[in-house]
Chain A
Amino acid sequence: MPRLFRNMAVVTLIIVVSVGSLRADDTADYARVLTDVGPAFVTVKFVLKMEGQFGNRESEAEITGVMVDAGGLVLCGNTRFGSPRMMRSIGGSATPTDIKVLIGDDIDGLEAKVLARDSELDLAWVQIKKPGDRKFACLDMSKSIAPEVGQRILALRKMAKYFDRILTVSEGRLAGKTKKPRDLLVPTGLGGLEPGLPVFSASGQIVGIAVIQMPEDEELQGMAFTGIGRDISNGLILPTMEVVKATARAKEAGTKDKDEDDEDTKKSSGASNKKSKEMKANDEDEKSDDGDE
């Protein structure tokens, strides 16, 4: 009996020690990720204007995004801005307006616009309109990691306005990988995985961005939709490299759209490099036309 007790005591001690050390690791991991990347998390407020057969609707919304460029570029989930495909299916369209980015404890927010969206990847990029010389804390996506199935992963999320939007960490593991419709990581155990937000390894390196992946309409024929709801609602992770490439494309698209708009204005007003006063006046007319929009 004494030996039995001694053995039990040893086993208990081992368990206590291992649990204790695991908790210490967790605390360090959680603290590190909060400290390292927490400041890059921002709140994006906007009003979604919906128009269509159902009439006109507006709703105020608030999501969490992550700053990915010190110049004020914020990455968000695209679906929350009104998925074009979903809106088309109900005979309408949605436009996010009055976009504000709230950083830290700010309650007023900085005016912003959607620079570009990638509905296929479920990503949207919001650009602060007048960043000035300010350099914003941002997520460094160059330090990424490709985790193995079974590894611990961490996700950050901001709580609601009522709870002062504090950042929380949730933990899960990588459950699998899929190649359809593209390379995606499948998480498990991550409570409250929010589309558009990064997922990290336990050591704080970025793994990818949480996304919602919807098959195209024709891909849902032939019972392909069976069980897909569960897979979609659990959330998927788009690997960081894909996000980096997509962000580069978004920046380029944002610049191109601006150039095209400028070019349109020049063409329609017939302006040359040396503008006459009359041509300048034409330009101003065009600007006021746009204001009517």
Chain B
Amino acid sequence: MDCVIRAVAIYFFLLLIFRLAGSRSLARITTFDFVLLLVIGEVTQQALTGQDYSVTNALVLIITLVGLDIALSVIKERSPRFEKFVDGVPIVLIRNGRLLEEPMKHERVGEEDILEFARELRGLARLDQIKYAVLERDGAITIVPKDNERRPHDGDQPKG
């Protein structure tokens, strides 16, 4: 009984903590973030298993955690409001080539971060080549280049 309750408590606690931490912080994992994740995993493992190292305990814990994830995904599918609450919403950081300072400040995203994604995803070199930049729910930044910066295979229709 207690292992199922522990799993549910840990699941929702982690969900809350990572939601409060914001989408940015774990999207681009630095070495330190990675170490931190490992430590969190270790601590969580202690809390979940306690002194019960039986196979049954492991199976029940895994089934409870994965089951919660499935249940949440089903609820999210049915209730967009709940999905917003759990996953957040995308935020526009650059609109029509103009940097939006407020969302950038709140989401702790700098110009450098946007440029990094712009280089990586689109091969763009300057901010003025970007039409839209969006911080997605998973913490990644997607870039829509200005029309004249598009490469021929970017759009649906190749330009003549």
Interaction A to B: no
Which residues in A have some Cβ–Cβ distance to B below 8 Å?
A: none
